[in-house]
Each structure stands twice: as C-alpha cells, then as structure tokens.
C-alpha cells in the first residue's frame, strides 16, 4: 500500500545541482519526474556506529544482509513517479537511499562483482559495445539495460553455451539502489553517469550486454574468466 499523505507541509528542497552533484532528494526527483523511473526510499542506516565498525540497517532485522540497500517502509510496491509523493518521502528522510523498482517500463540491470566489472568495461569498450549508465558500489557494478521480462531472459540464457555464475539479473519485481545513496557497503556512485539533460537515459538491450559480457569473459588471455569473483 502507498503511504497516505498527511497534512500538507512546505517542501523546502529545490532541484538545484551544486558543485558536488545533486543531493539524494534532488536525484530522486530527477529519476521519478524527468526520467519516469519509479522509486521508493530505502531502509537506510542506523545513526552512529562509525565507518570503521560499519553501520547496521535501520530495519528491524539485526542480521540484515543488505544493510540500508532495500525497501522497508513503504515497501517496493509503493514505488512511484508521482512528484508530490517523492518530495514528501525525501523531505521527511533526506538521507534515504534511492531504490529503483526494476522492470515493467523501468530500467532493468545486469550486475557483476566490482572487480569483474572494472575488468570487463574496458574490454566491452574495445569491442565497440555501447553501454548505458553503470551504477557502482564497493562490491558490485550494475549495467542498466532496457526493460525485459523473465521469459525473454530465459530464452536469452538458454541460447548461451555458458553464462558466468557471477552475473545477477534485476528485472520485474526486483530493485536497485541508485546514486548518490549510502548503504552498509559504502557509497553508491555512477561509474558511467547518464548523459546530462532531461530526457530519460538511453539503455541498451539486455541481449547485447549479456552476449558481450559472455564474450569478454571467454576472451580472457589466461584462459580464465574476467567475470570471476
């Protein structure tokens, strides 16, 4: 269920871009309003704790495996492109991570370990593979792609002789944390940022990205895989 808006309040943040980039509320509005990507605030992190010792998730689960980097209240089904709702959420919780609900008309993604991503992207560039935005965290990189369904993904994977087990797929019913969020694993950033402008970023088709990643993996000079952990 969606949250119910309470008494109207003055929404103070404005959509301005400073020298260090947009704030989380500004970035959430860009995603939802300019790009029409449905978003919802993430659980976020507990206050305090210090970076050296890590910070736990603000959700009730003390063993949360993705601290801060998942929807909690409201849930993923509340993700929206409605400007008033997005403003209200991030006015109340300006440090909340930005969670994209993948699939449907929204972008999907293919993700791989960060080390593998750093190896693979230059290879894809040399192959002439055009990429869309790439989201980076300290542990995984995610290549945004055009929306795809599970049936389409299944047919694609069936045609491949071998698909690296390190790949993960974020489609209908899934989610992805977007920059400039902070989660328990660290800062989320753009490794390949969207082109500036108000239009939604261009996204490649999933088959072109997967086929290129599989080829890049198989072409490792030592006979191994560029996409291994």
Mean predicted confidence (pLDDT) in 104-114 = 94
**More confidently predicted of 123 and 30:** 30
Q: Where are the domains positioned within the chain?
A: 24-218
For the chain, the average pLDDT equals 85
- Angle, vertex CA 168, rays to CA 209 and CA 215, nearest 5: 35
Give the three-state DSSP class for 76. helix
Give Cβ neighbours of residue 157 (< 8 Å, ≥ 6 apart): 163, 210
Q: Among candidates 68, 72, 71, which has minimal Cα distance to 54?
A: 68
Q: Which two tokens stand for residue 212?
A: 């290129």
pLDDT digits (tens, 9 = 90+) for 48-105: 644 444 579 999 999 999 999 999 999 999 999 999 999 999 999 999 999 999 999 9
pTM of the model: 0.85
Cα 213 to Cα 163: distance, rounded to the nearest angstrom? 9
Q: Omega into 169 within 30° of 0, i.e. cis?
A: no
**More confidently predicted of 90 and 22:** 90
- Does the pLDDT value for residue 229 go beyond 70? no
Q: What is the pLDDT of residue 19?
A: 45
């Amino acid at each position: 269920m969606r949250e119910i808006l309470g008494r109207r309040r003055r929404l103070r943040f404005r959509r301005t871009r400073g020298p260090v980039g947009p704030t989380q509320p500004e970035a959430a509005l860009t995603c939802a309003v300019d790009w029409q990507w449905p978003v919802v605030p993430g659980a976020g992190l507990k206050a305090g704790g210090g970076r050296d010792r890590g910070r736990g998730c603000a959700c009730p689960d003390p063993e949360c495996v993705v601290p801060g980097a998942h929807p909690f209240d409201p849930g993923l089904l509340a993700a929206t492109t409605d400007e008033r709702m997005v403003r209200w959420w991030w006015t109340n919780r300006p440090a909340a991570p930005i969670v994209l609900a993948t699939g449907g008309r929204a972008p999907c993604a293919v993700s791989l370990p960060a080390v593998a991503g750093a190896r693979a992207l230059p290879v894809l560039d040399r192959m002439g593979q055009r990429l869309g935005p790439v989201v980076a965290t300290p542990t995984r990189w995610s290549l945004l792609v055009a929306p795809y369904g599970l049936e389409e993904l299944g047919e694609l994977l069936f045609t491949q002789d071998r698909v690296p087990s390190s790949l993960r797929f974020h489609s209908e019913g899934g989610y992805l944390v977007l920059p400039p969020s902070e989660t328990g694993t660290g800062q989320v950033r753009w490794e390949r940022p969207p082109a500036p402008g108000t239009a939604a970023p261009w996204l490649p088709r999933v088959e072109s990205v997967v086929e290129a990643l599989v080829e890049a993996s198989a072409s490792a000079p030592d006979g191994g895989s560029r996409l291994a952990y």
